Chains A and B, each alone.
Chain A
Amino acid sequence: MDIMIKIFYAIISIIVATVYGLTLGGIVRKIYARAHGRFGPPVWQPFLDIIKTHGKRVSISHGIMFYLGPVFRFAGGLGTYLFIPVIFGSAIFSNFSIAGDLLLVMYFIFFGQLGMALGAGEGGHPYSPIGIARGLSQMTSFEVPFALSVIAIAIQYNTLNITTIVAAQQGGITNWTLFTNPLAVIAAMISLLGMNMHSPFSIVLAPQEIPIGPPIEMNSSFLATLQTNRGLFAAAKLVLFMNLYFGGATNLLIMVIKTFLIYMFSVFVGAAFPRFRPEQSMRFFLKWPTIIGIVAIIFIAYF
């Protein structure tokens, strides 16, 4: 395929995902507000935020790595998204998934995190590394059940190719991983709670402890870049989960419905539970979800 067309399609795909992700963020804020008994901001508030932060007259940088931090973060979001096929069978939304498989996506997530962590570190504000230390620690712990779940489905489908995994789930709801390998899905969904960092796992941005954590020194366009990425990255993660566990999507509407519902799981839990302390959060992931993940592997591999 002509590489220019590929890039053109990728741009469309990215824009769609970003807009969708940001809107989803707006909806979530609304839901949280209602749960708290507030009216809440409008659904398009994330877009307003981005425009506002971009428009700031003053822009402060602490050095080159600080400058590159948001770039890394956004590149991480873009890359993660681009290595995932979004809609099964669609040329526009297949992205660059030809370059690698599920492992690439899993490790590309780290690309943005690491870069951002370095950029925030150069900011020199102690809240940044505190947040990062918490975030990385939590990441190591929720990564365990997620990895176990991924291994379980790799055993199940005998591949790590996301497109093949989606293909295997076509032809009816009972073919979804959710029903063919429920334990793996449970483990993965619990680790999704950690990935999405809603309560009770909101220890990284933890407003009352380390106000917004890692990006604390970020301002103006730097912050706007991060906010944009937040939309795209949320979409990428949800699409990944949809592909792996919920049968993927054959058109945009199904994609929107499925990812919205997946996201609502985090939102409901987040609205209902208070925040953990960091060590509680890590322990949580390393206990039950991990055991469920191990059982999933044993079950799928040996029975």
Chain B
Amino acid sequence: MVNPIYIIILSLLAGFLLSIFDKGGRKLSLTVFYSVLTFNVFVIADWFYRFAILGVSTLTINTAGFSAPLSINLQLGMLESFVLLFANLAGLLSAIYLIKKFKESKISSLILYLILIMGVNGLVMTRDLFNMFVFLEILSISTFALTILTKNKKSLSAGFKYMIAGGVASTFFLLGVIFVYYFSGNLNLEFISSNDFTNYGLIGVFLLAIGIFIELKPFPANGWALDVYESVNSGIVAIIAVVNSAAIIFVLYKILPLLPTVYLSVFTGMGIVTYIFSNLVGIRQSNPKRLLGYSSVAQMGLLAASLFYTTKLGVSQNISFLIAGGIFINHFIAKALLFWIAGIVKKNNIKDWSVLRNNIPLLILFGISLLALSGLPPFPGFWAKWEMVKVFVGSKYYIGLSAILVGSLLEAFYLFRWFGYTTKNKLNKETMEQVQFSQIFPIIVFVLILFFTSFWIMTNVYSLNYFNYLPLVAIFGMFLISFLRSKVKAIISIAAVVLYGYFLFPLGMSIQLLFGIIFIIGSGIVIISTINRKNTGKGFYGFLLMMIFGMGNLIIAESFLAFFINWEFMTIAAYLLILRGKRAKIPAIVFITFSLAGAYFILAGFGYMPNIANNGAIINTIGTIKIPLMAMILMIIGFLVKSASFGAHIWIPGAYAEAEDDVTPFFSSMFSKTGIFGIILLAISFIKQTPDFDLFYWLGWLGAISAIVGAFLATFQEDVKKLMAYSSMSQLGYIIVSISLLSHLGWISGLYLTLNHFMFKAMIFIAIAGVIYRTGTRQMYKMGGLIKKMPLSFITVLIGIIAISGVPPLSGFGSKWLLYNSLIEKGWFLQAGVFFFASAVSFLYLYRMIHSIFLGQMKYEHQNIKESPIWYLIPQVIFIIGIMAISMYPNLIIQPLNTIVGNYFNSSIVIDGYNVTSSLGYWNGNMVMYVTMGVFAVPLILLLLINGRTQTVKQFNIVYAAERPESPQTTHFAHNMFSHYYKALGGLTKPRIQSFWNYVSEGTNSLAGLFRQIYSGNGQTYILHIILYIVAIYFIMGV
């Protein structure tokens, strides 16, 4: 047990003596330097252990033999030790990171570094206002001096601006200290209370607070700080960005009790403004360090806002610690990591970061840091956001809520874009420098701490059920066995999926079982097609399993939180899978932006949710609570994004098309169903509790519009995967409308469609993956006549399109019959009309696909290609069997669905043998099958009997009127097949939604450009900003 004052004393002493030690050689001075830093960490860690684990009470240290207020006193408690532990650890690690630099630089840099750390320690512990000012100045000056150690013109001017601005801020703080002393007669925080300041006395508190607040670099008065981030050595910036900020935010925390409520509100607002605008400006930034600077500033704004706001509301201490602590740790660790990595990569444009691909471990660490900084689970920032949204919704602070979510989205956007550049930009020949152990060591330590904290929060704060860890376990597990051959990994993955399903899923007749079949069994089958891969590269199966387990967990999630983290796991995994595609840079960023936007809607929606009893999966308990309308709307928007409904559909073609071909089936047949599952989840509550507003009527219309628009979009595609992507959008429109009917027949048809879509989309996409694998193109007009070479794939696609189009006798007709019956029964007549239209239009794209690929004339270059590999064929055959079985014996599926839906509605159909009767009509699937077989067999047999003389000729053996076409290449009618329809639709074909989103993105970009102009680089202007800012705040608060 060492008195913490020795931290300060020793640092100070060592600081003075270092130059003497240095005379004995740099080794000696470095030993002393690192020993002191290490000593600090151990002392604080020891104290933190005492406070956190042993529950020792807060320690007060008097100096100079007097107790406060006669002398300055220090305080070390749980919070102080927590902040200082991180600060000192970061100080030590950053010093290790800088060891090479420290070996060469002047001794003064070591001294300054030590003084800086000492300043931080003092600032956090001191309880005396004037002493705070002193430490602030120490911090400011040592930072400035360290800044200009990097010898270039930029850093010099940046450092100068930093010092001047810091000086201005401290001046206000000092003025504040003077006024506070004048009004309260004291300088020690223990002896000052907010009651001391009434009327004009408030000016003292105001100056105090604004001085500190300026140090936190609020937007727009923060130009002075950003130049520093950009121009100074990464190791030092890591300290400035995280350690300095941590100390300053803690000072703010200490003076919080003095502030009147109105100040808290305004400062909250200013923090949020900083968050959203800094992130906005960040999207225009290409310099990685400056980008991180914007992000730092934003995060500090968020942290300050959360501190002010929770204090204002008097939120319980646990929650406010979780929020502020979560943001703090997240920012602290992730930002330090990213600055360190930036120092290793040494590229001044994020577009050049592809060089990081030469060092895969570092790339992984980089990815982890980005995910953490974006506030995604399981990292601490996520939990903070989760609680914060609840607090904001609870107190009806909607502007703040939306600003924070928009800000988060912007931040995630530029971070993921950066990751996209890194993983996808062209890799030049240049290689990275050898990474020093001293540079990688701090990174690894912080990543471990990051994971440890995340794990600690998951287990100790939320005590989540064990299966919620499985997506993470999967990715780690697959990482550990990544040395194995890819076929072995595929088989392990299948086994893992099977075991997961077997142990976790309830087998009773329920919606859970249905979606379990789709997500789990479906995934197991589709993984078979990936066995074909010769080399998967690292991570593929990890991401895949993470996505599958994430989807599976949605069904059995026992709380809203569990649902949402799995939702995010699934989204992250999907993003990483899409990103693996060769040209997936843009589609992946569009995907993640839309997905996260959707997720934030869901997050906000969960904020409105009442508490739910924690017994069993929420899909089973959701009926017991009434979901507020606002939550319903927000969450439905989120789910619709996932199922690519009209309006949010523009992510779908790129993501589906550019994902690897054997990954797309997962997206289309399973991943998109998660949105449907979410809508069902909400609908269950909606039907069990009397709703105020018939939201689902409008959702039904949206489904109808998605169906028709998706069908037309598919019709005009040349790219087969884009065609099928839009087809998914259209088909999901059918499902959405039937779920929205909220009737027995509607739900049967919705679930039937879901199951059917799952099967035919999986098999078509796998068949197409095989075709693309053989032909090497996705453009349909570049293929043709492949029926001769790939007959099995043709049969799959044929059965698939019959099942989609609803032509009897296959299962698709059942779904159409149920759909129209349910629509008409409900009285949704015009919607039924739209679906007739959509279903007719689906013939256009289906024919286009099968004709352009398999029929017509074959290209010369495809003369020698073979059938799809066996691993593609196996899952196709399984799905064909599935489709044929439920077509022949519809009861296999109608009966169970009747039981499942019977849990929610009274049955409206009669099942008698194979005859299904609704209030409107009837359908006997089995008999239709037999009649069809009969009417097919009769002409076939006749034709075979009377037409025995048939001779078969090649496809190109055709004749125009007395003329022979020149070559098969020019004779295949495929390109722009429906040009006449395009013409007929006239102005309706304008891509309005695409234009809208382009407008949004360009508008955001221009807005960012506009705000960026305030950063003129001129120091005087920056000072003016600060003064104006203070004046403005002064007036807003009406001090």
Are B958 and A123 in contact (CB-based, < 8 A)?
Answer: yes
Q: Of the candidates B785, B856, B931, B943, which one forms a contact with A96 in the assembled complex, judged by CB atoms under 8 Å apart? A: B931
Q: Is B807 engaged at the interface, CB distance under 8 Å to the other chain?
A: yes
Q: For residue B957, which residues in chain A have a CB less than 8 angstroms away from its CB?
A: 60, 62, 124
B937 to chain A, nearest CB (A): 8
Q: A124-B958, A126-B971, A143-B837 are in contact. Are A282 and B980 (CB under 8 A)?
A: yes
Are B833 and A144 in contact (CB-based, < 8 A)?
Answer: yes
Q: Is A151 engaged at the interface, CB distance under 8 Å to the other chain?
A: yes
Q: For residue B932, which residues in chain A have a CB less than 8 angstroms away from its CB?
A: 75, 79, 111
Q: For residue A59, which residues in chain B have a CB less than 8 angstroms away from its CB?
A: 947, 949-951
Tell me the chain A residues, 130-176 only, with Cβ under 8 Å from chain B.
130, 132-134, 136-137, 139-141, 143-144, 147-148, 151-152, 154-155, 158-161
Rounded to whole angstroms, the CA-CA distance of A294 and B836 in the bound complex is 13
Are B829 and A297 in contact (CB-based, < 8 A)?
Answer: yes
Q: A59-B949, A107-B807, A118-B855 are in contact. Are A147 and B924 (CB under 8 A)?
A: no
Which of A32-40, A66-74, A264-272 is near enough to bind chain B? A66-74
Which of B86-94, B441-449, B820-828 is near enough to bind chain A? B820-828
Q: Count the A residues whose beta carbon is within 8 Å of the partner chain — how many?
A: 82
B920 to chain A, nearest CB (A): 5
Q: For residue A278, which residues in chain B have a CB less than 8 angstroms away from its CB?
A: 980-981, 984
Q: Is A117 engaged at the interface, CB distance under 8 Å to the other chain?
A: yes
Interface string of B912-948 (1 = CB under 8 A from A): 0000000111111001100110011011100100110
Q: For residue A129, which residues in chain B have a CB less than 8 angstroms away from its CB?
A: 851, 855-856, 973-974, 977
Are A103 and B958 in contact (CB-based, < 8 A)?
Answer: no
Q: A82-B935, A126-B973 are in contact. Are A279 and B857 (CB under 8 A)?
A: no
Q: Is A78 engaged at the interface, CB distance under 8 Å to the other chain?
A: yes
Q: Is A42 engaged at the interface, CB distance under 8 Å to the other chain?
A: no
Are A103 and B817 in contact (CB-based, < 8 A)?
Answer: yes
Q: Is B538 engaged at the interface, CB distance under 8 Å to the other chain?
A: no
Q: Of the candidates A103, A110, A121, which one forms a contact with B856 in the assembled complex, judged by CB atoms under 8 Å apart? A: A121
Q: Of the candidates A65, A126, A144, A220, which one forms a contact with B787 in the assembled complex, judged by CB atoms under 8 Å apart? A: A65
Rounded to whole angstroms, the CA-CA distance of A140 and B973 in the bound complex is 20
A174 to chain B, nearest CB (A): 25
| Secondary structure dominating the interface of A | helix
Are B980 and A217 in contact (CB-based, < 8 A)?
Answer: no
Q: Of the candidates A82, A99, A294, which one forms a contact with B924 in the assembled complex, judged by CB atoms under 8 Å apart? A: A99
Are B980 and A78 in contact (CB-based, < 8 A)?
Answer: no
Q: For residue A133, which residues in chain B have a CB less than 8 angstroms away from its CB?
A: 844, 847-848, 973, 977-978, 980
| Secondary structure dominating the interface of B | helix
Closest A residue, CB atoms, query B837: A144
Q: A61-B952, A110-B807, A118-B855 are in contact. Are A82 and B931 (CB under 8 A)?
A: yes
Q: A82-B931, A117-B847, A118-B855 are in contact. Are A297 and B833 (CB under 8 A)?
A: yes
Q: A110-B807, A136-B844, A155-B829 are in contact. Are A75 and B922 (CB under 8 A)?
A: no
Rounded to whole angstroms, the CA-CA distance of A54 and B813 in the bound complex is 34
Are A143 and B931 in contact (CB-based, < 8 A)?
Answer: no
Q: Of the candidates B832, B939, B954, which one forms a contact with A225 in the assembled complex, judged by CB atoms under 8 Å apart? A: B939
Are A104 and B813 in contact (CB-based, < 8 A)?
Answer: yes
Q: Is B59 engaged at the interface, CB distance under 8 Å to the other chain?
A: no
Are A139 and B840 in contact (CB-based, < 8 A)?
Answer: yes
Q: For residue B808, which residues in chain A have a CB less than 8 angstroms away from its CB?
A: 79, 100, 104, 107-108, 111
Rounded to whole angstroms, the CA-CA distance of A98 and B927 in the bound complex is 9
B820 to chain A, nearest CB (A): 6
Are A143 and B836 in contact (CB-based, < 8 A)?
Answer: yes
Rounded to whole angstroms, the CA-CA distance of A242 and B844 in the bound complex is 29
Are A78 and B939 in contact (CB-based, < 8 A)?
Answer: yes
Q: Of the candidates A82, A111, A143, A220, which one forms a contact with B840 in the assembled complex, judged by CB atoms under 8 Å apart? A: A143
Are B939 and A160 in contact (CB-based, < 8 A)?
Answer: no
Closest A residue, CB atoms, query B988: A286
Q: Is A52 engaged at the interface, CB distance under 8 Å to the other chain?
A: no
Q: Of the candidates A107, A159, A294, which one forms a contact with B833 in the assembled complex, judged by CB atoms under 8 Å apart? A: A294
Q: Is B431 engaged at the interface, CB distance under 8 Å to the other chain?
A: no
Q: Is A221 engaged at the interface, CB distance under 8 Å to the other chain?
A: yes
Q: Is B484 engaged at the interface, CB distance under 8 Å to the other chain?
A: no
Closest A residue, CB atoms, query B920: A160
Q: Is B782 engaged at the interface, CB distance under 8 Å to the other chain?
A: no
Q: Is B802 engaged at the interface, CB distance under 8 Å to the other chain?
A: yes
Are B785 and A124 in contact (CB-based, < 8 A)?
Answer: yes
Interface string of A272-303 (1 = CB under 8 A from B): 00000111101100100000011001000100
Closest B residue, CB atoms, query A140: B840
Q: Of the candidates B829, B922, B951, which one forms a contact with A301 in the assembled complex, judged by CB atoms under 8 Å apart? A: B829
Q: For residue B951, which residues in chain A have a CB less than 8 angstroms away from its CB?
A: 58-61
Rounded to whole angstroms, the CA-CA distance of A151 and B919 in the bound complex is 14
Q: For residue A41, which residues in chain B have a CB less than 8 angstroms away from its CB?
A: none
Are B940 and A68 in contact (CB-based, < 8 A)?
Answer: yes
Are A130 and B973 in contact (CB-based, < 8 A)?
Answer: yes
Closest B residue, CB atoms, query A125: B958
Rounded to whole angstroms, the CA-CA distance of A128 and B843 in the bound complex is 16
Rounded to whole angstroms, the CA-CA distance of A143 and B805 in the bound complex is 14
Q: Is B642 engaged at the interface, CB distance under 8 Å to the other chain?
A: no
Q: Is B961 engaged at the interface, CB distance under 8 Å to the other chain?
A: yes
Are A96 and B840 in contact (CB-based, < 8 A)?
Answer: no
Tell me the chain B residues, 132-160 only, with Cβ under 8 Å from chain A.
none
Q: Is B290 engaged at the interface, CB distance under 8 Å to the other chain?
A: no
Are B816 and A103 in contact (CB-based, < 8 A)?
Answer: yes
A222 to chain B, nearest CB (A): 8
Are A221 and B946 in contact (CB-based, < 8 A)?
Answer: yes
**Among the interface residues A62, A128, A152, which one has the most CB atoms of the partner chain B within 10 A?**
A62
Q: Of the candidates B824, B851, B984, which one forms a contact with A279 in the assembled complex, judged by CB atoms under 8 Å apart? A: B984
Q: For residue B373, which residues in chain A have a CB less than 8 angstroms away from its CB?
A: none
Closest B residue, CB atoms, query A144: B837
A109 to chain B, nearest CB (A): 9
A59 to chain B, nearest CB (A): 4
Q: Of the candidates A57, A60, A155, A160, which one forms a contact with B953 in the assembled complex, judged by CB atoms under 8 Å apart? A: A60
Closest B residue, CB atoms, query A79: B935
Q: For residue A132, which residues in chain B have a CB less than 8 angstroms away from its CB?
A: 847, 851
Q: For residue A75, which residues in chain B have a CB less than 8 angstroms away from its CB?
A: 932, 935-936, 938-940
Are B843 and A71 in contact (CB-based, < 8 A)?
Answer: no
Are B953 and A61 in contact (CB-based, < 8 A)?
Answer: yes
Q: Is B955 engaged at the interface, CB distance under 8 Å to the other chain?
A: yes
Q: Is B798 engaged at the interface, CB distance under 8 Å to the other chain?
A: yes
Q: For residue A110, which residues in chain B have a CB less than 8 angstroms away from its CB?
A: 805-807, 843
Tell me the chain B residues, 690-728 only, with Cβ under 8 Å from chain A.
none
Q: For residue A159, which residues in chain B have a CB less than 8 angstroms away from its CB?
A: 920-921
B823 to chain A, nearest CB (A): 9
Tell me the chain A residues, 206-222 only, with Cβ under 8 Å from chain B.
211, 217, 220-222
Rounded to whole angstroms, the CA-CA distance of A297 and B833 in the bound complex is 10
What are 25 of the A-B contact pairs (CB < 8 Å)?
A61-B953, A62-B957, A98-B927, A99-B927, A104-B813, A107-B808, A111-B807, A118-B851, A124-B957, A124-B968, A125-B958, A129-B855, A129-B856, A133-B844, A133-B848, A133-B980, A137-B978, A140-B981, A143-B837, A148-B836, A152-B829, A155-B829, A279-B983, A279-B984, A282-B980
B binding-site residues for A, Cβ under 8 Å = 785, 787-788, 794, 798, 801-802, 805-808, 813, 816-817, 820-821, 824, 827, 829-830, 832-833, 836-837, 840-841, 843-844, 847-848, 850-851, 855-857, 919-924, 927-928, 931-932, 935-936, 938-940, 943, 946-947, 949-958, 961, 965, 968, 971-974, 977-978, 980-981, 983-984, 986
A binding-site residues for B, Cβ under 8 Å = 54, 57-63, 65, 67-68, 70-72, 74-75, 78-79, 82-83, 96, 98-104, 107-108, 110-111, 113-114, 117-118, 121-126, 128-130, 132-134, 136-137, 139-141, 143-144, 147-148, 151-152, 154-155, 158-161, 211, 217, 220-222, 225, 277-280, 282-283, 286, 293-294, 297, 301
18 further A-B pairs in the complex, CB-CB below 8 A; given A82-B935, A99-B931, A278-B980: A60-B952, A63-B952, A100-B921, A110-B807, A111-B807, A111-B932, A118-B850, A122-B787, A123-B955, A124-B856, A124-B955, A129-B973, A133-B973, A136-B843, A143-B836, A222-B943, A222-B947, A294-B833
Which 5 A-B residue pairings sit nearest by Cβ, starting from the closest?
A: A121-B855, A147-B836, A101-B921, A160-B921, A124-B955
